[in-house]
């Protein structure tokens, strides 16, 4: 269908800018200086800590920036016969990082509001993970956050 075609075109155009042999996650173009998110299924422990695994692909120097977790909510309302849809993001936590090349992890602690949102949504939230490493353009990746049992 048209959705599959649009996905394939987007995938081809995103991969066109990547350097040959560059480290990147599947379907993600490599950007210099911006780490790659290794896992899109994240888990919060009972204290609200979320471990985010990243990989820095720079050959010299270090990766420095911030990781932000934002919960994604879709709000719908009716206007006559139409259903209007709006996407709202709520920031759950943010942490800075500085690391050399290779894989590393950062831990983000959810505040009381973030833990309450996770609990009220049956232990599962759709996230947007924003990895910013100036002066490069920030990377936004969709992920899922689940609560520990």
Single pTM value for the model: 0.74
Is the predicted pLDDT of residue 89 greater than 60, yes or no? Answer: yes
Is the predicted pLDDT of residue 117 greater than 70, yes or no? Answer: yes
Phi/psi at 44 (5° precision)? -100, 135
Is the predicted pLDDT of residue 91 greater than 70, yes or no? Answer: yes
pLDDT value at residue 19: 45
30, two tokens: 């490599």
Give the model confidence (pLDDT) of 35-87 as tens digits: 999 999 999 999 999 999 999 987 777 889 999 999 999 999 999 999 999 99
């Amino acid at each position: 269908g048209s959705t599959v075609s649009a996905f394939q075109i987007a995938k081809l155009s995103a991969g066109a800018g990547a350097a040959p042999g560059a480290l990147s996650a599947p379907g993600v173009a490599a950007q210099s200086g911006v780490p790659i998110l290794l896992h899109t299924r994240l888990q919060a422990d009972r204290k609200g800590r979320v471990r985010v695994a990243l990989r820095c692909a720079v050959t010299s120097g270090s990766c420095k920036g911030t990781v932000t977790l934002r919960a994604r909510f879709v709000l719908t309302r009716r206007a006559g016969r139409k259903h209007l849809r709006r996407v709202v993001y709520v920031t759950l936590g943010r942490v800075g990082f500085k690391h050399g090349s290779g894989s590393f992890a950062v831990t983000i602690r959810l505040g009381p509001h973030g833990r309450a949102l996770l609990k009220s949504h049956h232990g599962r939230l759709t996230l947007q993970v924003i990895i910013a490493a100036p002066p490069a353009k920030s990377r936004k990746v969709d992920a899922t956050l689940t609560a520990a049992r």
